[in-house]
Structure 1
Amino acid sequence: MKIGDLAKRTGLTPATIRFYEAKGLLKAVDRKSNGYREYPLEAVAILSIIVNAQQTGFTLDEIKQVLPADASGWQHDELIAALRKKVGDIESMEVRLAQNKAHLLTLIQLIDSKPEEMACEDNAARVMDTLGITARKKS
C-alpha cells in the first residue's frame, strides 16, 4: 500500500511515517520503479505498536531495541524485560507525582489559610516562613 493509504489507516501523517522509517522503526519498505514507497499490510500493526508504546512512555530508542525486523521475530525475554522496566519507571514516576501533589496541596492549604485581615504580601512572607524559605526584603 502507498504511504497515503497507510496514513489513512493509521491516522498518522505521511511525514510521521517517513520519520519512523528514517529512524529504523518501520522496516521492509519497498520502492516501486517510480520511487513511491510500498508498505506491507503489517506496517499498520507495527505503526500501531509504535504509537501505543510511545503513549505508555517508551522512547523511540527503547521501541527500536525490542521491535523485531518482522512480526514473527519477537524476542520474548527482551520484550518482557523492557516492559517490566517500563512498569518500574512508571511506578517511580507515580511516587514522584504523589510527592509533588502532596507538596502542592500543602502549599494551597497554606496560601488559602490566610487570615482575612492579612495583606497578600504578609501572607506570602508567612507561607515562605512556614516552608523555611527566607524572603528577600525590599530595599
Structure 2
Amino acid sequence: MNIGEAARRSGLTPKMIRHYEHKGLLPAGTRSAGGYREYDEEALGWLRFIHQARLLGFSLEQIQQLLCLWQDAGRSSAEVKALAGAHMRELDARLAALTQMRDQLARLMDCCAGDDRPTCPILDYLATPDEAAP
C-alpha cells in the first residue's frame, strides 16, 4: 500500500509516517519503481502501535523502547510495566503542574471584576516579576 493508504488505515498523516521513519521508529518502506514508499501489513502494525503509544502520551524515545520490547519475544512484562509506570509518574507530575496553573488562574479570575475598568489583577500578576509573585 502507498503512504496515503497506510496513513488512512493507521490514523496517522503521511507527514507523521515520514517523521517516524526518519526518527528510526519505523523501518524504511520499500520503494516502488516510481520511487514511492510502499508499506505492507507488518509496517501497518508498527504504525498502529506507534499511533496508540502516542495517544497515551509516550515520547518518541519511550516508543522506541516499547517497540524493541514488542519485538523481543524474550522480554519480560516487568520491563514493559516499569516503562509504563515511569510514564505514568511523568503524567501525574504534569497533571499536578497543570492543576496548579488552573487553580492559580481561577484565583486570578475571581479577583478580576471583568468590567469596563482598566485595572486587571490578571495583567498585574503577569507583569509581576517571579520573585515578587505571591
- TM-score (norm: length of structure 2): 0.69
Structure 2 residue aligned with 1:92:
93
1:2–1:37: 8 Å Cα contact kept in structure 2?
A: yes
Give the match's secondary structure for 1:65. helix
Deviation at 1:33, TM superposition (A): 5.8
Q: Secondary structure at the match of 1:67?
A: helix
- The question of whether the paired residues in 2 share the 8 Å contact of 1:66 and 1:78 is answered with no
Post-superposition CA distance 1:58-93 (Å, at most 9, x none): 221221122128x54264333222211111011111
Aligned length: 124
Q: Does 1:120 align with 2:117?
A: yes
1-10 or 94-103, which deviates more: 1-10
Name structure 1 gaps, 5 residues minimum.
135-139
Partner residue, 1:4: 4
8 Å CA contact 1:29–1:37 kept in 2: the answer is yes
Q: Could you tell me the TM-score, scaled by structure 1's length?
A: 0.67
Q: Extract structure 1 runs of 4+ deviating beyond 4 A.
A: 31-36
Greater shift, 42-51 or 87-96, is seen at 42-51
Bigger radius of gyration, 1 or 2?
A: 1
| Structure 2 residue runs without a partner (length 5+) | 130-134
* 2:111 aligned partner: 110
Q: CA deviation at 1:9?
A: 1.4
Matches within 5 A, 1:12-31: 12-27=12-27, 29-31=29-31
CA RMSD for the aligned pairs? 3.3
Alpha-carbon distance in structure 2 between the residues aligned to 1:99 and 1:38: 47
